[in-house]
Amino acid sequence: MHKIKLLIILILSLGIQTNLKAETWDEPWQKEIIQKAEYFVLANVIELDSTGVLLEILQNFGQNKLPDKILINGFSLLKLRSSSGQGVHYDFEKGQKLYFLLTKNEDGNFAIPTPTSGFAVLDEENNVYATYRHSYHQALIPKDIYEMTYQAIWNYYHKLEYDKNSVMEFINEQIKKEPAGFEENEISTFFLQHASLETAYLLDIPIELSRIEKFANSDNFHSKVSSVQLMSLLDDLVTKEYLFEFIQSDNNDNFEKVIAIRSLKNIGGKEYNNKLKEIANTLSDEETGFGGSIMDPRVATSFPTPREAVKETK
């Protein structure tokens, strides 16, 4: 039981563990990372030195061809917010197997988005420390589920066909269940529900409010965020009203409300954008964010207060 609780803390609250403390940066969301990546691979870390990270490509999930061995020696989406001058480094281990989302550098080598994003560790038990939303919020997913969902997501954003039947079967199977919690007998189901809701969002698959409302009404932060985010794909009056009430409810925290505000702004049109402006001053203006350790270099990741979110422009 102690091991399970520790796993939940590490994966859900702090995300990637790292010893990179000297610099801080604004961590991108996973959707942007997938959209901008040029390669999706499974690789083995052969060597780490001052030149970068040497990888052996084990599997290429994209259409762009790669040599058997490549070098990572840069970062494609790194936006430093503070620097001690020590620079940023890679936090991998020789012999590790990881999935990477890569872009190609001008020198012919490759880059990950930031030192803490664009990769997912494959452990010895064939489970993946997967990111669907943001590197702060990870889930432990079986290898076959990760590859099935991520192949679909990758193909969708790179204008390729994907197996819609398998994806929908997985999503439907998970969301028909009651929202799972973090207890030992529930955590595996929770991770799969998280993956299913986030996959539906990334694939722009609308799921009826009646089927996902139970997740937004639960006391599980991650399920609430995933479900109200997914509501951004439902352009109907009932969903708009649900989100508007969700934003004003004391039962929901600032992070959840910000996601709900963004969803409502996406589907609400002029009417609900005006309604949000009318209640803006009643919404919290206290700083919110991803939490986690203040020593985490991603601490500079920007995230608005609910009041600020109303004023956001795309």
Residue with tokens 């409302």: 213
- Bridge partners (DSSP) of residue 130 are 139
Per DSSP bridges, beta strands 110-112 and 97-104 are antiparallel
In angstroms, the CA 47 to CA 195 distance is: 31
Q: In this structure, what are the phi and psi dihedrals at residue 170, rounded to the nearest 5 degrees?
A: -65, -50
Break the chain down into helix, strand, coil percent, rounded to 5.
45, 20, 35
pLDDT of residue 14: 40
pLDDT of residue 313: 77
Q: Please name the amino acid found at residue 85.
A: G
pLDDT of residue 294: 80
Per DSSP bridges, beta strands 69-75 and 110-112 are parallel
Of 60, 5, 67, 79, nearest in space to 301 by CA:
79
Whole-model pTM: value is 0.92
| Interval 251-291: pLDDT, tens | 999 999 999 999 999 999 999 999 999 999 999 999 888 88
In angstroms, the CA 205 to CA 33 distance is: 19
Q: Please name the amino acid found at residue 72.
A: I
pLDDT of residue 307: 97
CA distances, 213 to each of 61, 92, 179, 267 (Å)? 34, 39, 10, 17
Q: In this structure, what are the phi and psi dihedrals at residue 97, rounded to the nearest 5 degrees?
A: -110, 130
In the chain, which residues have pLDDT < 50? 1-10, 12-20
pLDDT of residue 182: 92
Cβ atoms of residues 247 and 283 within 8 Å:
yes
3-class secondary structure per residue, 212-257: HHHHHCCCCHHHHHHHHHHHHHCCCHHHHHHHHHHHHCCCCCHHHH
Q: Six-digit token pair at 288? A: 């919110």
CA dihedral 179, 15, 285, 24 (to 10 degrees): -170
Q: Collapse the DSSP code of 81 into the 3-class scheme (helix H, G, I; strand E, B; otherwise coil) and give the result.
A: strand
pLDDT of residue 82: 85
pLDDT of residue 85: 66
In angstroms, the CA 154 to CA 40 distance is: 8
